[in-house]
Structures are given as structure tokens and as C-alpha cells.
Structure 1
Amino acid sequence: MMKGITKTIPIALLCAVSSGAFAATTPATDNTPQEAYDDITRSLDDLHPITFQAPAEKYKLLVFIDNQCVYCSEVVKNIKKYTDAGLTMSFLTVAPKSIRDSVIEDMGRVWCSADKTKSLQQAMAGFLPDNDTTPACSDLVTRQSALADRLGITVTPVMVVVEPETRSIVGSQPPAAILTALKK
């Protein structure tokens, strides 16, 4: 995926997005933006996203990442810029099929750590936590990835604007570009 490509679209149409910069996603089982929104809101609390709260929140974004994604690392590395711009960022894991077991193991360690926000930041910088994962944490990451599968998300990062309406932004975008896209 190339940095700098933005697609602001209804989540159910994410499966239709394609360009030379990234592969098209697989068809989502959620058929409409409303069904996708309902799936997210129904599932989110149980999936325990790692959230970085904006002091003056303008938008809430659900960000799908994997720890082997360079562009995802850029988003997490610059989290303060996003939160300072009013973007509350909640992270969930996508476990791509080609690296599924590795991502579930690695990100399970993040979700099992005592300080999840610090652990996520370190993991995305290439430093996994010293703790092991547990079956419960691995299952949590698997369920997070299952939500991404239901939504048709197979590329990372994908930022889903949960409020006030469900739209997706594909790729590592700076906060100003996100805010501009959301004001349209």
C-alpha cells in the first residue's frame, strides 16, 4: 500500500475500492453502511480496542492495523498528532491470512500487557512486550480480525469513522487530510 491514498467511502463499499496502490478487499458480509455500523457498535465493547482519547474530540476513528504494517506503525508513532487534532483513535487488529498466526501471537501479547497503550506503541515500533499471550488474548485478537473480515477489510491501515457517520479512510493519512476529508 502506498502512503497518501485516501478513500472516504461507506464501509460496505470498501470491497469495491481498488487502485494500483493496493489490492481490492474481499466482499464484506455486511451489506449496507447501516449494517456495518450496527456490527461495529454491537461488537466493539467486547473486542476491547486500545484507545487514545483526544482531549477535544471531533471524531472517533476505529483503526484496523497489523503489527507488520509499516504504514500502521506510522499512524501509531504519530498518535499525539491525531489526538491533538481532535481524533480519538481506537485500535483493533487485522490478522492477514499470510501472517495470521504470527500477528495473533504478537498482538495477543500486546492485549495481555498491563499497559496496553504503551505496549501497542512499542510493538508498532518493533519492540514486542516481554509477556506471553494467553488463549484469552489470542482469542480476542482473532475476534477483532473476524470483525475486519466481516467488514471486508483486508488492507491496513483502515480508519473507520464511527461517529457521526460510518465512513472509511484507507491508508496512513495525516490528521489534517483526515479532517479535510471528513468535512466534505
Structure 2
Amino acid sequence: MKQLLLAASILGLLACSPQQEAQANANTTPESGASFNQSYLQQMGFTVESAQESSIPGVFEVITDQGLIYVADDGKKLIGGRIYDITGGEPVNLSENVIRKMRQDDIAAVADETITYKADNEKYVVTVFTDPTCGYCRQLHNNLESYLERGITIRYLAWPRSGLQGSAYQQLKTIWCSADQKAALDAAKNDKRLPAASCDDPIDEHFALGNKFGVRGTPSMILPSGEMIPGLVDARRLAAQLEQD
């Protein structure tokens, strides 16, 4: 039997001013109708996207701009950690299932913002957060044909490793604003000069989305199941994993 350590920490009971208590719209999320006081999360900097009751009575499962969290006691207590069902032979990470669904929904919402290299015999679509200055990202891109040959379409989203500044950030903005995005991405990953281009680009939004998903480096692959694989996985191993999924 595997030993499982479940860590859950209460981060604290937060005071709320009478003015905040009076905010009627702080109590109900529009998507689910779940009712709890959101003002405590809001003053911590969270934006609530959806919420519903979890499998634990009195605990809400909340999707925020910073990912999945749990709250209890009418939103007064924030719970850190993950929920597992331990009634079977092996523990089941219920939180991971929620996170995967979140990623699937969010990826679908930005599908038209990706730079896509489509496999002729497409079997799977894998979304990759990329940075043109990342060596492993370049290795993946230089071997792109090996993924396409196995029926794996690669869709790129931007995630500048140095944040919203520096050369990678500027390159990504230029790439996504280029008339030929693929040619610009190919050029950037081979240290070729990019022609000037500017537009209302989605780079900041892609970066925020990656942070929400838990991206900490590039490449980070999002599989059709919503599972995230940090780092480079070669085409053969990736195809094998996709077939198992």
C-alpha cells in the first residue's frame, strides 16, 4: 500500500469591513449559483471564475484566475492542498480531475489564438506553452516532424520564462502579430531576425493562463485529457502516453 501524505493548511480567518459585507454580488458565482462570501478571496487578490460544492460538506471547490482552491465557513477560511478519495484500493486525486477539466475548458477558449502545426493524420492535439529562447523548446520544434508523423498536432501558446519583460516577451509579441506566424516562430527559434510587427496580442493572457495551470517552465505540454507534462517529452514516448490515455 502506498503511503500518502495529505497536507491541508488553514491560511486564516480574515476580517471584512462592513462595506465589503454589504456587497451583494460577492456572495454568488454566476456560473454555478454556489453561495458564499467572495469578499475575503477578493481582498487576497483572487478573481472567482466559478464555484460549486465539493464532495466534502461545507467546502466549496473554487476555480480562480490562480487555479483551483477550496474555501469553507462561508468563504472565511481558505484550505490549501488536494482532496483524495481513499475508499478504493488506490487513492484517487479528485482535485486533479477538476484541474484537468479546467485546463480543457480554458484551452478550448483560446484555441483560435494558438499557432498550430497540424498533423495530416491527426489523432491527438497537444498544446504546448513555449518560449523561443528556451533550448528544450527549440529541440521540440526542430523535431516537430516526428510528432506530426505520429498524428500529434502541436498547438503553441506563449509563455515567456522571464515574465512580461525582456527579449523573449518582445519576440513572442512580434511572432503572434506577424502576418505569417509560423514563419516568424520558425525564425525566432533559429536566431533569425524578425520583421517588426505589432498588434493587440494575447501574450499577457497566455502567460496568465500558464500561471493558472501551474506552468513553471517551458515547454509545458497540455494533453487532450487536461494532464500537464512539464518539460520535453520526445515524440515516441508522447505517442505511447497518449495511446494509454
User: TM-score, length-normalised on structure 1?
Assistant: 0.74
AA aligned opposite 2:185: L
Structure 1 residues 126 and 99 mapped into 2: Cα distance closer, same or farther (>3 Å)? farther
Deviation of residue 97 (structure 1)? Answer: 3.8
Q: In structure 1, how many angstroms separate the alpha carbons of the residues matched to 2:229 and 2:131?
A: 16
Task: Name whichever structure is richer in helix by fraction.
Answer: 1
Partner of 2:102: 35
AA aligned opposite 2:222: V
The answer as to 2:218 corresponding to 1:156 is yes
The answer as to 2:111 corresponding to 1:44 is yes
Partner of 1:142: 204
Is the contact between residue 109 and residue 131 of structure 1 (CA under 8 Å) also seen in structure 2? yes
Partner of 2:179: 114
Which structure has the larger Rg over C-alpha atoms?
2
AA aligned opposite 2:66: T
More contact order relative to length (CA 8 Å, sep ≥ 6) = 1
**For structure 2, which runs of at least 5 residues remain unmatched after alignment?**
1-64, 69-98
Q: In structure 2, how many angstroms separate the alpha carbons of the residues matched to 1:183 and 1:98?
A: 34
Partner of 2:147: 82
Partner of 1:182: 242
Deviation of residue 120 (structure 1)? Answer: 0.6
User: TM-score, length-normalised on structure 2?
Assistant: 0.57
Q: In structure 2, how many angstroms separate the alpha carbons of the residues matched to 1:97 and 1:115?
A: 25
Q: What is the percentage of aligned positions where both structures have the same residue?
A: 25
Partner of 1:5: none
Q: In structure 1, how many angstroms separate the alpha carbons of the residues matched to 2:151 and 2:178?
A: 27
AA aligned opposite 2:107: I
Q: In structure 2, how many angstroms separate the alpha carbons of the residues matched to 1:69 and 1:96?
A: 8
Deviation of residue 175 (structure 1)? Answer: 0.8
Is the contact between residue 164 and residue 204 of structure 2 (CA under 8 Å) also seen in structure 1? no
Task: Name whichever structure is richer in strand by fraction.
Answer: 2
Deviation of residue 183 (structure 1)? Answer: 2.5
Per-residue CA deviation, residues 24-77 of structure 1 (Å, 9 max, x unaligned), is xxxx833222122222222333xx110000000111000001111000011111
Structure 1 residues 35 and 98 mapped into 2: Cα distance closer, same or farther (>3 Å)? closer
AA aligned opposite 1:178: L
Corresponding residue pairs, total: 150
Deviation of residue 98 (structure 1)? Answer: 5.5
Structure 1 residues 80 and 102 mapped into 2: Cα distance closer, same or farther (>3 Å)? same
Q: In structure 2, how many angstroms separate the alpha carbons of the residues matched to 1:83 and 1:122?
A: 19
